[in-house]
Amino acid sequence: MALFKRKKDAEEADAMVAASPAGDIDAEEVMRKYDKESNTRIWEGIPKIVVTAVMVLFSVYCLAMTLLSTEQAEARLARFLAFVIVIGYMMYPARKTNHKVNHIPWYDVVLMLAGFGAFMYYAINCTEILLMGARIEPLHVALGIVGILVLVELCRRCVGLPIIIVVGCLVVYAFYWQFTSSSSADLYASVRKIVQKLFYTTSGVIGTPINVCYTYIVLFVIFGAFLERTGISNFFISLANRIAGWSSGGAAKVAVIASALCGMVSGSSVGNTVTTGSVTIPMMKKVGYKPEFAGAVEAASSSGGQIMPPIMGAAAFLMAEYMGIPYLEVATKAIIPALLYFAGIFIAVHLEAKKLGLKGVPKSELPTFGYLAKNCYLVLPLVLLVWLVASGTRTMAASAAISILGAFLVGFVNFLLTNWREREEGATFGAVLAETVKIALFTCADAFAAGAKNTIAVAVACAMAGMIAGCITVTGLASTIINVIVLMAGDFIIIGLVFTMVCCLILGMGVPTTANYCIMASTCAPILMQLGIDPVCAHFFVFYFGIAADITPPVALAAYAASAIAKSRPMATAVNATKLGIAKFVVPYIFAFSPVLLLVGDNVTPVTVVLNTATALVGVFGLQCALTNTLFHRHLNPLFRVVLAVGGLCMMIPGTFTDVVGLAVIVGMCLVQWMLARRDKAKDVEVSADDEPTEAAA
């Protein structure tokens, strides 16, 4: 059913593109169609000012409470979700086609007030309710049910159905378990116990995921909003153009670098695809890449931004909390796998460019080093954040707050310099400064409002992730699933890894990155740890495959968004994106069996790290040659493609024997292909020499 729906959505998007005057497409429309988080109500005039003010106050409240509050956790988190529900129902309509200006239906107001009242009642009476334990009264049960249902409906609007289906199945199973595990259980007793666990304890909606969201993620979402509005995204695109724009097929390489840098900050595969793709996809098509390939490059690169240290779309901070290791360690361990992933895409776009004979952008049209040097101060907030967190002199929240202030100051300087360069003749410095202050304040309010808006979907998904973890904990389902998979895998760990991969791809469909990881860490990582996989490797494994869902058919949201911009066939774009991102499907298996790539284990030395990285890189090269169907500007024989793929996989399997076999195969195939390419070139020369006299005689 989901497949047909996605196909219909993609056809509608293509029709919208075809109908647009210049063949262009409104990025906002694409975001509304493929990104649930962007499917918001339209506010204008006074209502827009009011809604913006509410969201700014929410962001400021989160910032202040995180830094200063010492209140009981349950009260803080319940109040946080109460405000999330208010803003959520103000922003997200029941249907994506319902975009009347300045309109909110009466039933949304009722749902908003009901959900707000349920969570706020718990926040105010937190101590009394906690002392009751499982003896909560009917009023508390009713409020809990209302709060959960209102939250589920908001999740449907801003996140999507997949995660709700998972939650619904687990809640049904929780009731089944409750009835079968107790002979004296009646319906009300079962409802009371489940509601008490899921609503009034830290094993449900206000569990670890929402606590991490409130404590860390909100601040880094706000920080990301400030970075986007200070011009760092444009700087990253200019930097990528200067680095790779001149080379063969440089436009695609620019897309890879820019998407990696921007996606690291934005934390949204679809959002990053549309934001950078609106610039890079037309560039790629202009130089000669096919639409399906251009869209796939952007989708694969954008979905990789969340695995790119140091920010990793705020997931690095979440992983540090779950694994109990310092943030700097997480960011360091993520470097080699991320480089392998982007190296794979880079190799693929280079091979495709050589196959098509594409050229780079003339250097005269590229940003100059002088321009980049003058604007390099834009990355200072990012450097400041990494330095503060790495030094350990400040808490995570304080580091984020200081970095937000730094981003505001850098943005102010950027606006001041821009206004001064573009000032009208005779304008004084005081007038320019006053205009800059006005722009900076409006930008600050816009960043705070955007941070609040971007927080809603993440917070709701984290609350759902808490319910998933709660149902699994209450019923003991986790141990049952683990035992089943361990029994099925037997002595073959690879079977357990494949089952876990499939679970991650299904559970990760359409879920924001940070909430995605919360679900994977609660449900899938324990399976791998039971199989004997190192905890760090297990968490990275599920993190990678959760994100891979964004480019994996049939529900490949990032690929479908890219196809709308590229005016390409959606499914073909998704398949190409999967090919380009093949490293994301292979690298996790490498560090599952060889943790050296994650700098884990007793045998981690500079030599072993370099050796393992080099062999994995050669393996990625072999796989990409096979998938791209080209080497030395020449198509590959089908048999050669299979042999190269096998050689690439051998290089990626840990072990001296497999490395030697893989290297021999890849080197041998390269030599054969090189000789065939030389033979073809010699034939072309002979043909052209034979044609010359004929042409002369003519």
Indicate whether 29 belongs to any domain. Answer: no
CB 446 within 8 A of CB 452: no
Cα 260 to Cα 57: distance, rounded to the nearest angstrom? 32
User: CA 180 → CA 176, 177, 264, 306, distances in Å?
Assistant: 6, 5, 47, 42
Place of tokens 């409470």: 65
The pLDDT assigned to 101 comes to 81
For residue 99, the model assigns a pLDDT of 63
pLDDT of residue 10: 43
Number of neighbouring beta carbons within 10 Å of residue 46 = 9
Q: What is the pLDDT of residues 217-242, one digit of tens each?
A: 788 888 888 888 887 777 888 888 88
**What pLDDT does 184 receive?**
58
Whether residue 280 lies inside any domain: the answer is no
Its domain, for residue 657, covers 605-687
- Is position 680 within any domain? yes
CA distance 146 to 169: 19
Task: Determine the pLDDT at residue 72.
Answer: 87
Distance CA 581, CA 303 (A): 9
> What's the pLDDT score for residue 258?
81
pLDDT at 32: 61
Q: Which residues of the chain, if any, have pLDDT below 50?
A: 1-23, 695-698
- Is 627 within the bounds of a domain? yes
Tell me, what's the pLDDT at 212?
79
Q: How many whole angstroms separate alpha carbon 641 and alpha carbon 582?
A: 15
pTM of the model: 0.78
- 379: which DSSP letter? G
Please say whether the beta carbons of 284 and 569 come within 8 A: no
Domain annotation covers residue 635: yes
pLDDT score, position 698: 43
Instruction: Tell me the backbone φ, ψ of residue 631, rounded to 5 degrees.
Output: -160, 130
Please report the pLDDT score of residue 326 as a whole number. 83
Q: How far apart are CA 490 and CA 482, in angstroms?
A: 12
Instruction: Measure the CA–CA gap between 569 and 10, rounded to whole angstroms.
Output: 8
In whole angstroms, give the CA distance from residue 143 to residue 117: 8
Cα dihedral 39, 42, 48, 54 sign: negative
- Angstrom distance (rounded) from CA 248 to CA 194: 60
- HSE-CB at 697 with a 13 A cutoff on CA atoms is 5
Domain count of the fold of the chain: 1
Which residues on adjacent β-strands are paired with residue 101? Answer: 42
- pLDDT value at residue 28: 63
Looking at the DSSP bridge assignments, the partners of residue 631 are 634
pLDDT of residue 37: 60
The token pair that represents 102 in the structure block = 């300045």
Find out whether 81 and 459 touch, Cβ atoms under 8 Å. yes
Residue 113: predicted pLDDT: 96
In a domain, 645, yes or no: yes
Q: Which helix (H) or strand (E) holds 372?
A: helix 369-375
- Residue 634: inside a domain, yes or no? yes
What are 492's two structure tokens? 């073959």
Q: b vs e for 545-558, b when ≥16 Cβ sit within 10 Å of the residue's Cβ?
A: bbbbbbbbbebbbb
Tokens of 320: 């540090």
Q: Is residue 637 part of a domain?
A: yes
